[in-house]
Structure 1
Amino acid sequence: MPSESTPAPVPTATGAPGPDADPNRSLEVGLDALQTNAPARRKRLGVWPLLAPVLAIAGLIGVWQLFVMSGVRPRYIVPGPMDVLTQAGAAWARGDIQTALMTSMERGLVGFAVSVVIATPIGILVARVRWVRLAFGPIITGLQVLPSVAWVPAAILWFGLTNATAYFVILMGAIPSIVNGLVAGVDHVPPLYRRVGRVLGAGPVAQVRHVVLPAALPGYVAGLKQGWAFSWRSLMAAEIIAVGGAIGFGLGSMLQQGREIQDMTIVAVAILLILVVGILVELLVFGPLERRLQRRRGLAAETAR
């Protein structure tokens, strides 16, 4: 008797299943290919993620040097890379760079941490309580749009030339961004998640902790990243304007010092240090955090392409 089993698919010349192949089997093969090709795409990147920024920086330094050599602007207005490097070495030998970095980083990290502690419950409250959002949502957005430098004169009058002035400006720059980022993340949580949480017996606090916040993490992390950027910029503005007293010597103070003595090499060193801190925080903190979230949500392969 003829066999009633399904005949094996006849491969074509290219190795793919022929027209008589089982469509379900073809679908499985396609899904397997998608899963196995994703890591291959990431491996093909090789050292490029590390090499690309180095090449970009080298190219920018080369353009900078060519502009200096062209003589379009005097050397004391646009110093060359070696002039700035020499000034950086001298500032390091004097201890100016170490003092400025330690002062600004301490203020920035402490101010940002306090901002996160304050902004997180406010963001949850605004996102979950309708009348709070209606009343305070526009105000928080307005505070986010308001330039942080506008708070510096008021902070000096209120707190004097002290660290409190810098911390106040940091808080006013970071908190609105973190709150709005968390609100945006909560708004994008599917309602089904909350309903499942209620069915499983989660109360309001447990639902926020175990359902809403984990699902809102991408928006929350984006808000944290923007909040750090705002807090760092706010701190630099405060240190540039509020000079003297007990406020200490930070990167903004170094920038202002270079402007006062009309030494562009000091200004360039301060600008580069501020930029380096921003890049390192992105590479060491927010970049890995975002990639971890993407891997947990199955998005790493797509973003690597």
Structure 2
Amino acid sequence: MIWELVYKIGVDVLSIWKPYTFPSPVDVIKSLYFLSIDNTLLIAVGASMERLMIGYLLSVIIGIPLGILIVRYKYVGENIKSIILGLQTLPSICWLPFAILWYGLSEKTIIFVIAMGSIFAISIATEGAINNVYPLYIKAAKTMGAKGFKLYLNVVMPASLPSIIAGLKQGWSFAWRALMAGEMLVATKGLGQVLMIGRDLADISQVLAVMIVIIAIGLLLDNVVFGRIEASIRQKWGLEVKL
């Protein structure tokens, strides 16, 4: 209602802006409807989610072991951690020209950008989670004979799991942003490409409609997937406190 009121005042009453620069909610709903009935939106969401899952899975497979290596081996940590911190600050879109030179305009390019956008965030989060494990847990495990792989498997990793999940959640947000950046420049189908088509057609309603879909998917995954996993783990470890 506020959106429609602002539109009416700005466009019809004061003529501050034109309808093609600031759409009404009705026009955006119409765009969502038309994108849905011809399956454009469904195909785009399916393509985007497939790329996201592949790229994010690769970042988890690489990022978590990398974080463990940084903690486990002092030499690796001293020489690699600063490089990883530097690469983490690099915007994901910066990897796109690099990926195009390697893979051309293909699916591998987008997946590479997604993975590079989240690997370092996950590895740094894993390293921080392990370093913040309560030392008494490790000392108690060692007195019982746990060491090496068993110590990490049975004590360190379970104790650091709540913080690692928070890092995975952060890595997913980086992966989601990297996906949109890659699709807007490389993909032939996907939410990013539909967004760019709206821009090329000067259809601000379609642009805003796709942006709303992107936000909705992000909130849905955050609450349904990561939110439930995080709440379950926090409750299991007695970290869920009601104030």
Measured against the shorter chain, the TM-score band is over 0.9
3-state SS of 2:241 partner = helix
- Count of matched residue pairs: 238
Residue 265, structure 1, aligned to residue 205, structure 2? yes
Partner of 1:78: 22
Partner of 2:239: 299
Deviation at 1:289, TM superposition (A): 1.4
Q: Distance in 2 between matches of 1:116 and 1:88?
A: 33
3-state SS of 1:143 partner = helix
Match of 1:162 among 106, 112, 121: 106
Q: Distance in 1 between matches of 2:9 and 2:181?
A: 33
State the TM-score, normalizing by the size of structure 2: 0.94
Q: Distance in 2 between matches of 1:73 and 1:294?
A: 49
3-state SS of 1:301 partner = coil
Query: Deviation per CA, 1:98-127, whole angstroms, max 9, x where unpaired?
Result: 110000001001111121111111111112
Deviation at 1:69, TM superposition (A): 1.3
Amino acid at match of 2:169: K
Deviates more, 1:144-153 or 1:71-80: 71-80
3-state SS of 1:77 partner = coil
Partner of 1:286: 226
Q: Which consecutive residues of structure 1, in runs of 5 or more, have no partner in the other structure?
A: 1-61
Q: Distance in 2 between matches of 1:63 and 1:295?
A: 39
Answer with 1 or 2: which has the greater Rg. 1
Q: Distance in 2 between matches of 1:206 and 1:299?
A: 25
Partner of 1:69: 8
Amino acid at match of 2:230: E
CA contact (8 A) 1:170 1:231 kept: yes
Deviation at 1:131, TM superposition (A): 1.2
Greater RCO between the two (CA within 8 Å, min separation 6)? 2
Match of 2:90 among 146, 153, 162: 146
Q: Distance in 1 between matches of 2:62 and 2:163?
A: 17
Q: Distance in 2 between matches of 1:221 and 1:90?
A: 38
CA contact (8 A) 1:112 1:170 kept: yes
Deviation at 1:277, TM superposition (A): 1.0
Q: Distance in 1 between matches of 2:175 and 2:47?
A: 15
The ranges of structure 1 where at least 4 consecutive aligned residues each deviate by more than 2 angstroms after the TM superposition are 297-302
State the TM-score, normalizing by the size of structure 1: 0.76
Identity across the alignment (%): 38
CA contact (8 A) 1:181 1:219 kept: yes
Q: Distance in 2 between matches of 1:215 and 1:178?
A: 17
Larger helix proportion of the pair: 2
Q: Which consecutive residues of structure 2, in runs of 5 or more, have no partner in the other structure?
A: 11-15
CA contact (8 A) 1:103 1:248 kept: no
Amino acid at match of 1:289: I
CA contact (8 A) 1:120 1:179 kept: yes
Deviation at 1:301, TM superposition (A): 3.0
Partner of 2:146: 202
Amino acid at match of 1:217: L
Partner of 1:240: 184
3-state SS of 1:216 partner = helix
Q: Distance in 2 between matches of 1:119 and 1:73?
A: 47
Amino acid at match of 1:288: R
Match of 2:115 among 149, 168, 171: 171
Query: Deviation per CA, 1:31-78, whole angstroms, max 9, x where unpaired?
Result: xxxxxxxxxxxxxxxxxxxxxxxxxxxxxxx32222211123221111
Q: Distance in 2 between matches of 1:275 and 1:100?
A: 15
Deviation at 1:298, TM superposition (A): 2.4
